Amino acid sequence: MGVSTTSHAVEVLRPGHDRYEAATRGFYRAARPGLLVRPRGPDEVAAVLARAARDDLRVSVRSGGHSPLDHGSDTRELMIDLARRDDVEVLDAARRLVRVGGGATWGQVAARLDPLGWGISAGDTAGVGVGGLTLGGGVGWMVRRDGLAIDNLVGARVVTADGRLVTASEGENPDLFWALRGGGGNFGVVLDFDFVAQPVSTVRFGTVAYRLEDPAELIGRWRDVMHAAPDELSSTLALLPRTPGTPPAAAVLLCHAGDPRTVVPYADAAIEPLLGIGTVTGTSISSCRYAGILENAAPPEGIQLVVRNALMTSLDDAAVAAITRFHAGPVPAAVAVRSLGGAFGRVAADATAFAHRDAEAMVVGALMVPGTAGEPEIEQALVPWRPVAARGSGTYINFQGSATPEDLAAAYPPRTHARLSAVKDAYDPDNRFACNHNIRPAGRTGARRHTDPRSEE
């Protein structure tokens, strides 16, 4: 595997290379691997993995670069960047079966499927990678109508740690297929994901802005409206970070994905109750193509975003009180409460490795700490988050910026975790893929070399 800049060989970048900085930049921060490689085909990926085994390197995998975890600076880390594997291909139009490269972004997927009148329920941001979002679960603008991204996944092609190309589906390697749907990047390099896309074209999309007078009342009223809402309506209640000199504010971001012929009257009837939950300061709702609603995002300059989440079976008064105290805490924070339920909740808890199907909402807290803050300051800033986490019934790995044993336990109930460990043992017994929310191989805890220091905390 030599250094190359052609499209026919594996590209290899090291620190100091003129393209290394751009290639390792992520949403939250830059990764600092000793080597970054860009394979495309399964043989190239297998050759890279063989080299990692030979040189005893830790392997990380990158799709869209939006991971909340800090890989730190590690000269013994080899990052496999799937940027060259971003095809979106229709395999079977009658079944709406689509094969998506493990390095594609959701913006690319939406743009390719839009002319067909299809879409896949995925995230809200164009630059997020198909790889990371899907392997964690995937909560998108149609989560209540179509479920998680993984609920629309029917297969994947994976290069395992020993270089084999395996297919995972209900019919082939079903244990691996189950684990890929929520178990994160623990089991190999996923070259392609096969999804069944859903019909979607014009949606009602936009924002209702509120003055934030009584946060607890606003959250409670939003919750009650979403309890009664049709599955076509998904929404997020955002409590905006407090800024000096500006009145506290909140917004509901919403998407109604119904029958495009009747979208306006039905959507607006479904949306209308949201106009009565607080003092509205503005609305901006229009009909647009689904592909047009995925936005680009960048964190504010000079700050670190520290992100945590809690899945809530019940947004009861105690949970709401904890959320409002967190938002009012000493460190500026944004809170996003995402509605779940609907199709998301009709999947059995043990059908996929994402087990928290009884959650009615996901609360994401993003603290804005100075860019220079170290671990002690971050731990201090997180103190008001703890009561929110304590009210949660689980955690979603994709918005969890830490990977402690407690985080793993919150993400995976004991039976799910045991099953994931067994699959890990079968496909990655040496824990080569450890730069993630790491599942240890069953029976080998502590016995193997490749551990991620972050999960030793």
Q: Which of 42, 119, 136, 206 binds ligand FAD (CB under 6 A)?
A: 136
CB 83 within 8 A of CB 22: no
State residue 300 phi and psi, 5-degree precision: -60, 150
Binding test (CB under 6 A) with ligand FAD, winner from 339, 402, 436, 438: 436
Q: Does 200 bind ligand FAD (CB under 6 A)?
A: no
Helix (H, G, I), strand (E, B) or coil at 289: strand
Encoded amino acid at 318, one letter:
A
Q: How many helices (H) and strands (E) does the chain have?
A: 13, 18
Question: Looking at 11, 44, 124, 194, which residue binds ligand FAD (CB under 6 A)?
Answer: 124
Contact flag: residue 102 with ligand FAD (CB under 6 A): yes
Q: How many CA atoms lie within 13 A of 148 on its CB side?
A: 30
Distance CA(187)–CA(430), nearest Å, equals 11
- Regarding 300 and contact with ligand FAD (CB under 6 A), the answer is no
Whose Cβ is closer to ligand FAD: residue 278's or residue 340's?
Answer: 340
Span from 44-52, 62-70, 327-335, 420-428 in contact with ligand FAD (CB under 6 A) = 62-70
Q: Is 179 left (phi over 0), alpha (psi -120 to 50) or beta?
A: alpha
Measured from the CB atom, the residue of 62 and 417 that comes closer to ligand FAD is: 62
Q: Does 399 contact ligand FAD by CB under 6 A?
A: yes
Q: Six-digit token pair at 65? A: 């670069």
Interface size with ligand FAD, residues (CB under 6 A): 35
39 interacts with ligand FAD by CB under 6 A = no
CB-nearer residue toward ligand FAD: 273 or 299:
299
User: For ligand FAD, which residue of 33, 64, 155, 258 counts as binding (CB under 6 A)?
Assistant: 64
> Distance between CA 341 and CA 224 in Å, rounded?
13
Instruction: For residue 329, give the amino acid letter.
Output: G
* Cβ within 8 Å of residue 328, ≥6 positions away: 215, 242
Q: Is there binding between residue 42 and ligand FAD (CB under 6 A)? A: no
Q: Does residue 62 bind ligand FAD (CB under 6 A)?
A: yes
Structural tokens at position 235: 């929404």
Residue 337 CB, nearest approach to ligand FAD (Å): 13
- Supply 2's token pair: 């030599």
Residues in the site for ligand FAD, rule: CB under 6 A? 26-27, 60-68, 82, 102, 123-125, 128-129, 131-133, 135-136, 138-140, 184-185, 189-190, 297, 398-399, 435-436
